[in-house]
A and B are shown apart, each in its own frame.
Chain A
């Protein structure tokens, strides 16, 4: 691996001491091209190619270095005019925009691209190095490079490694907002993984150096900013003369249709007017694109549609300025150019395009099928309506009001309504088992690695509220529980532990009529919501067992769930935190207020003869007491079959996995919901008006339904 030394770079250089440089395949090279040595063999690329340009580029691995050598040889014979040594320059690679001929651009770019693909990735940088390149030998710097002899002041090149992954607008906004000196970036472009732009004066440059590592991206990685002196940025070089600009404006005006606000810049290079005046508008060149956009900005600011067909465009760095200069553009025609990847289109992301033409670009054939192509383009331009002349379906728009922690995944839900329903359904099924079923049935609701804990508030003024004393031994209140072992034990981990523990907790009946569910947030990977309400201890029907005894104690609770999606479009719990507290008087009085059927008095209401018959039979078959049979039948509007189905369903809940989005919710009283229960596995539904005697398990199973606490 070649090493390079500061001698080649002039004095007072601190080096980019990449700690990984020995182990990774990245090597940072000094810019190796010099107009004095066009014929370099580049065996020792770094030693020989010794200009004092302080361009820094990388070659990622030895292969490409080797390639580079070969190509360097070829390229060096090419037309490496002085002005070509600007961006991204190793002597092996030249951005083709620097070459004279438009066609040659294409050829070289192919090679470049190939090499790019072989390159490895940047390592995740944990390095905290700030390289300050104080200066180079200034006299060698600019003068030879600038054909027009313009030294346009001190220019500095600002590099942001890994900058390619950031959206240009976001990046520049962030950088500009943190930089104490306001500035306008010039010639922003992406090069390999980096983002680069130029600024003009020393104050800006130092201000920018200062913000390195002080700004963070959305994933909280620090962003580094490197500032080096540089030659004049390309668009500032070779500026067109005022006369040329005037001619350009005239030509463009001829191509502008005022009524439609369409500017047709097809094949601009070969426009006879321009050629006649010896103006070569090679739009791949930064200065040409810059000039074009300048004219658009000053003369056609209302531009709606821009046609850049057939201009051999292979990169859109220059065109990205259109976002600022002609923001109203809605229609863009880039067909029949040389765009190879959608990454080029990413540079235009700020444009709210409605119509785009891309056919005839190499990138179009890189997709497996039409819909992959369309959706890739839609990712860049979410509001796009037409692509290549065809209408495309509008993508899902995410509800902007939903609280977001991270941008939610589009596929995972179609809006907060669906999510709410999912959660509600989940909770209904959960509490049905929790209250009425065997809590072992909750195993499928929990993830293998789930956590659960229960806490009771400790109120010093009211030391031992009797009603909650049952829970105390299960409580993991940090304030009370000092024993860390106990604490650890009481944080239940793994679904089996949790469910075993839940089975031991007192039986409950939650008041579903006033349960409040708060959706906290959803991310791509998890969903958090909490449930507030009250529940009664024991089962409601305990009243009948011991008349005169007060109703089961009512407690208030808050339970927070963090859930993750499962394969079968449902959710399972990862974290479950339950707090049980004393209910206030208001809460008690207002809970369970839905009037109980008159059933709960000891006298039987009058039923018709037929109904009484039904009740008797049901009671025999199910083994339930007459009162309960009546209740069940009443609830089901005296539809015997349906009542039976419901009854059986309740029994099976404890044993079968019902956590799927399709499961019937039993709390809705609609008829269709009940009949849907037919899909439940288990025994067929045998209850008919005069059937055979029931199996004995029915009898046994009814007991848990009706008895109070079973500890």
Chain B
């Protein structure tokens, strides 16, 4: 049976779409967020589509490339999908860094949007 459960299909295509947008033109990422979305970027929180897009576009690099090494998707109690991604990224001429990111996807008006997004670089922090 080649059937993927629906959340995997949606999750995978979302992930692909997201990183493609991010790498090519991250100003267009606004389309996948809504006004109630929340982004946690390295511990900082941004709420709302506008704030999120502003943060993402203001990140201090021109070129960025993501390479996904792992992704996993699960359905959640309220019919959302939680997706976890681990990978590596290279920004401009910086060294390659690991990162992981989590998305919570929700179906609104027959489109899957991201309501929560959490990004962390794979660095070790001490509390």
Contacts and interface: CB of A to CB of B under 8 A. Distances in A.
A457 B40 contact: no
A562 B4 contact: no
Contacts, number: 146
Given A528-B104, A560-B84, A590-B124, A477 B77 contact: no
Contacts of A459: 69, 88
Nearest to A514: B126
B73 A562 contact: no
A526 B78 contact: yes
A405 B84 contact: no
Given A477-B69, A518-B43, A577-B72, 16 more contacts: A405-B115, A458-B69, A478-B12, A478-B73, A479-B68, A485-B1, A487-B4, A521-B104, A556-B124, A574-B76, A575-B75, A577-B74, A577-B102, A581-B86, A586-B123, A587-B123
B66 to A, nearest CB: 13
Interface string B83-127: 010111000000000101010100011000001101010111111
Nearest to B36: A405
B2 interface: yes
A197 interface: no
A118 interface: no
B122 A581 contact: yes
A484 B74 contact: no
A532 interface: yes
Nearest to A526: B77
Nearest to A449: B77
A574 B77 contact: yes
Main secondary structure of the interface of B (DSSP, over half): strand
A436 to B, nearest CB: 21
23 contacts: A220-B108, A403-B38, A404-B38, A405-B115, A406-B36, A455-B72, A478-B8, A478-B12, A478-B70, A479-B71, A487-B8, A488-B5, A514-B124, A528-B116, A534-B124, A558-B84, A558-B120, A562-B76, A575-B77, A577-B82, A584-B98, A586-B124, A587-B123
Contacts of A562: 76-77, 82
Contacts of B69: 457-459, 477, 479, 581
A587 B124 contact: yes
Contacts of B62: none
A485 B4 CA distance: 9
A590 B86 contact: no
Contacts of B4: 484, 487
A573 to B, nearest CB: 11
Interface string A539-560: 0000000000000000010101
A516 B43 CA distance: 10
B45 interface: yes
A396 interface: no
A513 B123 CA distance: 15
Interface in B1-28: 1-5, 8, 12
A584 B122 contact: yes
Contacts of B108: 220
B84 A579 contact: yes
Contacts of A453: 72, 74
A525 interface: yes
A488 B8 CA distance: 10
A335 interface: no
A157 B95 CA distance: 64
Nearest to A587: B124
B73 to A, nearest CB: 7
